[in-house]
Amino acid sequence: MSELTQKDKAHVWHPFTQHHTAGTPLEIVKAKGIYLTDSEGKEYIDANSSWWVNTHGHAHPHIGEAINNQFKTIDHIVFAGVTHPKAVELAVRTVGYMPENLTKVFFSDNGSTAVEIAMKMVIQYWHNKGEGKQRFLAMQGSYHGDTFGAMSVGQRGYFNAPFEPLFFDSDYIDFPNGNNEDSILEQAESLFASGEFAGMIIEPLVQGAAGMRMYSPQFLDQLSTLAHQHNVLIIFDEVMTGYGRTGKLFAMDHCSVKPDLITLSKGLTAGVMALGLTVASDEIYNAFLGDETTKALLHGHSFTANPIACAVACANLDLFERKETWETIESIGNWNAEFAFELGELGCVENIRQQGTILAFEIKTGEGNTYFSDIKMQAYNHFLKDGILLRPLGNVIFVNPPYCIAKDEYQKIETSILDFLTQGTK
Ligand SMILES: *Cc1c(COP(=O)(O)O)cnc(C)c1O
């Protein structure tokens, strides 16, 4: 163990990590473009975009310049009673990409807080209107973050079992699998008909943490239509799907029926700074106006609208305004489709799915959960050996690279995956 990893072991508590059994963490000393370099000089392709956040590659000069310039201009200031140019620029540009009903931007620090704020807006919207509706509809397998509100509308299970008695009750519709859509819509309609539902929260088109599970925009349109017919506010949690992942800037761009609230984080700052946005409709915002302070959204974070994070988010948008970015996004989509076809020829994988820059499939195991985690570690280590950082979710392997990946780098990932699959079935 190196000195750094020894000190890490002594004092650092990592996310989603059982430290009793966890191996030594990979010591990364440099990140540049698509590559991460470890302390021994070995390079790894960042195939999952550093936990799905990186958009344009590491150490992008345009992002670096934005950080430098902003630090010299305003580093950080209070955002209650004060404003600053980069927060306003980000708000204006963000709503410029949104459907016209979404016009008001609230700033926070991460995806979970963006979700908490969206849910608080929904609850208080109905409260301010004198209606006591508080219930949320969510989807089986959903992930909306690790804070209490977000966990209360997420998939219940071993990730959050100790806290479950403290969650508020939510209702869950099944995940659409191509055969059950009609019955899900019936289920949703009969729940909505109770009149108790304040909102519906959903990961549009792709459930990330559940294993990059995908469903159609047509289904989401039907579900959203039902929600609106029953006066249920819709939150699209675009924390993972936002910023090009699905092949368009936002997943909702594939849909005809638009939500009332959007949450954004991960790709928002090119994967460089901690920032979250909750974008709300005028209708929601207006319900918080009045002479009484108590009608306002009395919520805020120390680092609300941090100017450096806002400047980086604006620089991220600059890069999305370059034609080359969309050309690469399209190429990744094409490579994914070709690779999906190739994978379909193999007997050892199933449920191959693709949406834009995300490709996912399952390794057939036919065994219990422990075997899943075995496969996960075997695959993870195999990819590392080949110079690829790719973290499977159980037996789900998925690729969602930064948008600067070149064809030969993508092919390297393909080759490594194919090697693993064919060796694994010997
Ligand atoms: C990652 C994620 C979150 C939580 O975001 P954090 O920044 O990790 O708190 C919420 N919703 C979705 C869909 C996510 O993928």
Q: 201 in ligand 1 pocket by Cβ < 6 Å?
A: no
Q: Are residues 156 and 93 in the same domain?
A: yes
In this structure, are 228 and 356 located in the same domain? no
Same domain, 333 and 378: yes
Last residue in a domain, options 320, 345, 374: 320
Statement to judge: residues 273 and 382 lie in one domain: no
State the pTM of this model: 0.97
203 lines ligand 1 (CB under 6 A): yes
Question: DSSP letters of 239-274?
Answer: TTTTTTTTSSSSGGGG-SS--SEEEE-GGGGTTSS-
Q: Looking at the structure, do residues 342 and 274 belong to the same domain, yes or no?
A: no
The CB of 376 under 6 Å from ligand 1? The reply is no
Three-state secondary structure of 315-374: HHHHHHCCHHHHHHHHHHHHHHHHHHHHHHCCCCEEEEEEECCEEEEEECCCCCHHHHHH
Q: Check residue 426 and give its pLDDT.
A: 45
Residues 336 and 316 reside in one and the same domain = no
Q: What is the pLDDT of residue 367?
A: 63
Query: Which of 297, 320, 343 is the endpoint of a domain?
Result: 320
Mean pLDDT by 10 residues, the chain (426 residues): 95 96 95 98 98 98 98 98 98 98 98 98 98 96 98 95 97 97 98 98 97 98 98 98 98 98 98 98 98 97 98 98 98 98 95 98 74 81 98 95 98 98 69
Tally of domains within the chain: 2
For residue 423, the model assigns a pLDDT of 84
Q: What is the CATH number of the domain that holds 354?
A: 3.90.1150.10
Q: Same structural domain for residues 172 and 199?
A: yes
**Are 174 and 253 members of one domain?**
yes
Cβ(237) to ligand 1 under 6 A? yes
| Tens-digit pLDDT profile for residues 356-408 | 999 999 999 876 545 556 889 999 999 999 999 999 999 999 999 999 999 99
Q: Average pLDDT, whole number, for the chain?
A: 96
Q: Do 223 and 281 share a domain, yes or no?
A: yes
Q: How far is the CA of 295 from the centre of ligand 1 (A)?
A: 28
The reply to whether ligand 1 has any atom less than 6 angstroms from the CB of 110 is yes
Q: Which amino acid is at 78?
A: V
Range of the domain at 216: 64-320
pLDDT tens digits, one per residue of 112-161? 999 999 999 999 999 999 998 999 999 999 999 999 999 999 999 989 99
Indicate whether 261 and 384 sit together in one domain. Answer: no
Whether 136 and 206 share a structural domain: yes
Do 196 and 105 have their domain in common? yes
Last residue of a domain, one of 320, 337, 367: 320
DSSP per position, 83-117: --HHHHHHHHHHHHTS-TTEEEEEEESSHHHHHHH
State if residue 239 touches ligand 1 by the CB under 6 angstroms criterion: yes
The CATH number that applies at residue 282 is 3.40.640.10
What residue owns the CA closest to ligand 1's atom 15? 240
Expressed in angstroms and rounded, the spacing between residue 53 Cα and the centre of ligand 1 is 10
207 lines ligand 1 (CB under 6 A): no
